[in-house]
Amino acid sequence: MQTPFRPLEYDYHSHRPLRTLIQWVGRPWWFYVSLVLVLLIKHSPVWAIPFLVAQVIDVLTQPEEFPLRLMVMYFGAVFILILQNVPMQTLMISMLSGATRDLEHTLRTALVTRMQHLSIAFHDRMESGRLQAKVLRDVEQIQNFCMFLFEGGVLALFSFLFAVIITSWREPRLLGFFVVMVPIVVGLRTLFRRRMAARNRDFRSEVERMSGDVAEMINMIPVVRAHGLEEFESQRISTQFGVVNQRGRRLDLINAVFGASAFVSFQLAMIIGLAVMSWFCLQGWITVGEIVLYQSLFGMIVMSISQLLHFYPQMARGVESIRSIGEVLECPDLEMNQGRMALESLQGRIDFDHVSFSYQAEKGAAVEEFSLAVAPGECIALVGPSGAGKSTMMQLVIGFRRPQSGHILLDGVDMQEIDMRTARRFISVVPQETVLFSGTIRENIAYGLTGVSDALLRDVLAAANLTELIASLPEGVETRIGEDGALLSGGQRQRIAIARALIRNPRILVLDEATSSLDVVSERKIQESIERAIRDRTTFIVAHRLSTIRRADRIVVMQEGRIADVGTYQELMARPGLFREMLALQDVIRD
């Protein structure tokens, strides 16, 4: 099996989807040649049987001209051809499925690897649902497309060539008739197909709207219930179900008409063909057996052309999926870490030198001319109204965003020159919303670390005020928590997040204090764990609680992206300004 970790983006050419696909599959040319050979051998009985039937009829109708011996030989040959289908079919599928399943594996791995390296700004722009669809649906679409390309496309093409070559070689006069009939049959089918495509599109878009509506409805149930709008909401959704019902019926109808017309045109063509061939036979140009043979060949031509036409929409979908994946593989928005300096250690000194950052140029700066020198071990509380740029500052500290002007220096070295992946080994983040995954408490705390000793875990649990909670659980740290930690209270989740940050013994801690209010006991426990967490390390806290603010070495008051004031709690309280106004508003900062 090939390695799934090839960097596929180098193989991606947006204007040449098929070439891209072949490079992704990554098999040598002889693989495709042998695959086609196996396919043709496997399929050969279908082509051979009409010859056998023709031979049988000729031997039976004109025994004096066609010897019985020949018929027996035909039987023998077809018998062997039929039997070989089993091993050949197995061989073909194992080759084809090997290639396409490997492709699926490689593509998915390449996509998630790329996603891990794309910048946070990229992930902000791209909805997670769309990325998920790329990894799951688009990749599956491409795999289906490859199977179809082969079993539908290549086989139809060879069937067509086979039938045309045999007919023109044995009876060129018939080929003239085929040339006239085929466009008529195909034309009839195409006529319906266009209308069918329109109705199909219509139906699909209504179904998509319906699933969107249902998802929204489920999310809205508490709101609807609170407003007593259950009847109204059910009615609204039911109307949409009605539309889907109506479009579905219209689609079924046109499908039926198309199915019938396809059947009728195909059968008519075959009957007309039979009439023409009977006339040929009466003229003595062909034998009775050959009527059967040409009839089958004619059927083969019509079928394969119709299959090739059907191939187009499938191909369009496949190509679209290749493009969709390319959006991720080709996106240049990577965190540029390669070749930069690796940090072996960090004291924890940070200097901000006229740092400015804006999300969109036209919206103005989220952080502007931010300058501050932070000594190792200092605790800085960031306060300010919502939208002042506090979270943006945190993202700048961890290198998720890069300043557009100005510099951030870690231990005196510009972050631009540092491989931030190595720097983040010394930085821990406690976000406002704790992200927990389903697994044990130990797995959640030691996430990404191996060989965490029990003693270290115990210390961290004690620092995060979790000892009591763990002791109360029958399985202790091995207790499994539900998806997103649903079984834990808000305060417990936050303390687990603090433990997760502390276990790495970071030199810099970035903590976004949760705004949600907790009961007095939980609040106190969190405060104690924060107090222990900030000891001996540089800490930035987006602070919402007075107790945290009091404890900070310095408080940075932010307003509209700028530093409005800096000082200790006592200094800031001593002078009039935003800080005192904010404290006066008890609902902004709680103790």
Residues 6+ positions from 60 with CB-CB distance below 8 Å = none
Nearest distance from residue 340's CB to ligand ADP, in Å? 25
Nearer to ligand ADP, 65 or 362 (CB): 362
- Residue 566 to residue 373: CA distance in whole angstroms: 11
Q: How far is the CB of 118 from ligand ADP (least distance, A)?
A: 15
Asked if 544 interacts with ligand ADP (CB under 6 A), we say no
Closer to ligand ADP by Cβ: residue 481 or 557: 557
Q: Interaction with ligand ADP in 111-170: which residues (CB under 6 A)?
A: 124
Residue 436 CA to residue 427 CA, distance in Å, equals: 19
390 binds ligand ADP (CB under 6 A): yes
Contact range with ligand ADP by CB under 6 A, out of 54-62, 97-105, 388-396, 526-534: 388-396
Q: Verify binding: residue 359, ligand ADP, rule CB under 6 A.
A: yes
Shortest Å, Cβ 201 to ligand ADP:
34
Shorter beta-carbon distance to ligand ADP: residue 79 or 359: 359
Among residues 131, 254, 355, 388, the one that binds ligand ADP under rule CB under 6 A: 388
Which of 8-16, 106-114, 338-346, 387-395 is the region at the interface with ligand ADP (rule: CB under 6 A)?
387-395
Which residue of 238, 283, 386, 570 would you call a contact of ligand ADP, by CB under 6 A? 386
Specify the stretch interacting with ligand ADP by CB under 6 A; choose among 72-80, 143-151, 323-331, 379-387.
Answer: 379-387
**Could you tell me if 578 and 559 are in contact, meaning their C-beta atoms sit under 8 angstroms apart?**
yes
CB of 400 to ligand ADP, least distance (A): 10
- Asked if 366 is part of the footprint of ligand ADP (rule: CB under 6 A), the reply reads yes
Is residue 387 a contact residue for ligand ADP (CB under 6 A)? yes
Q: How far is CA 155 from CA 72, 91, 151, in A?
A: 29, 16, 6
Spatial neighbors of 534 by CB under 8 A, at least 6 apart, are: 379, 509, 511, 541, 551
Q: Which amino acid, one-letter code, is at 531?
A: E
Task: Report the residue number, 110 or 382, with the smaller CB distance to ligand ADP.
Answer: 382
Within the chain, what is the greatest distance between any pair of CA atoms? 123
d(CA 3, CA 106) in angstroms, rounded, equals 7
For the bound state, the minimum distance from the C-beta of residue 344 to ligand ADP, rounded and expressed in Å, comes to 31
The nearest distance, CB 556 to ligand ADP, in angstroms, is: 11
In angstroms, the CA 36 to CA 30 distance is 10
State the burial class of residue 239 (Cβ atoms within 10 Å of its Cβ: 0-12, 13-18, 19+): exposed
Residues 544/589, Cβ–Cβ less than 8 Å: yes
Nearer to ligand ADP, 345 or 360 (CB): 360
Told to check if 391 binds ligand ADP by CB under 6 A, we report yes
> What is the total count of residues that contact ligand ADP (CB under 6 A)?
11
The span from the CA of 280 to the CA of 288, in Å, is 10
Neighbours of 195 (CB within 10 A): 12
Piece of 163-171, 292-300, 384-392, 527-535 that binds ligand ADP (CB under 6 A): 384-392
Tell me the two tokens of residue 501: 């940050």
Q: Which of 306, 392, 494, 548 binds ligand ADP (CB under 6 A)?
A: 392
Residue 463's contacts (CB-CB under 8 Å, 6 or more residues apart) are: 498, 499, 502, 529, 532, 533
The rounded distance, in Å, linking the Cα atoms of 179 and 270 is 14
Q: Is 238 in the site for ligand ADP (CB under 6 A)?
A: no
Closest to 370 measured CA to CA, from 401, 343, 340, 333: 401
In the bound state with ligand ADP, the residue whose beta carbon lies nearer, of 25 and 588, is 588
Rule CB under 6 A: say whether 556 interacts with ligand ADP.
no
* Residues of this chain that bind ligand ADP (CB under 6 A): 124, 359, 366, 384, 386-392
